[in-house]
Amino acid sequence: MKLPGLPAIGPFFRMLIVNGVGGAVLGLGLCAAVLWMDVAGVGSLIARSSDPALPAALLAFMLAITCAGVAMASALFSYAGDDSEKPGRPRGRRRENR
């Protein structure tokens, strides 16, 4: 998919972007769940502060960044790529018998 005005990106970077955005959305959902369920009193502590927007934004941003990084890393580790070798064939040099 080519967006107007942007260069075309390959499937690898598209996979990283999609997984990063998905992880960030998951992190924002996790933040909302933590605040709504008042896990360890975090929601009520933030609600009683003099400026509740700043700690809530920091919590949301940090959870979004962390979950995006985890999602991108798991996608990277499971990426198969273009292997020209046959599946199941061992890689590397053959050991000589001594």
Domains of the chain: which residue ranges? 10-44+67-76
- Residue 98: pLDDT band with limits 50, 70, 90: low
Q: Which of 2-6, 8-12, 27-31 comes out lowest in average pLDDT? A: 2-6
- Mean pLDDT over 62-83 rounds to 90
* CA dist 5 → 8, 11, 12, 21, 94 (Å): 9, 18, 20, 21, 50
pTM here is 0.74
| Tens-place pLDDT, residues 21-46 | 999 999 999 999 999 999 999 999 99
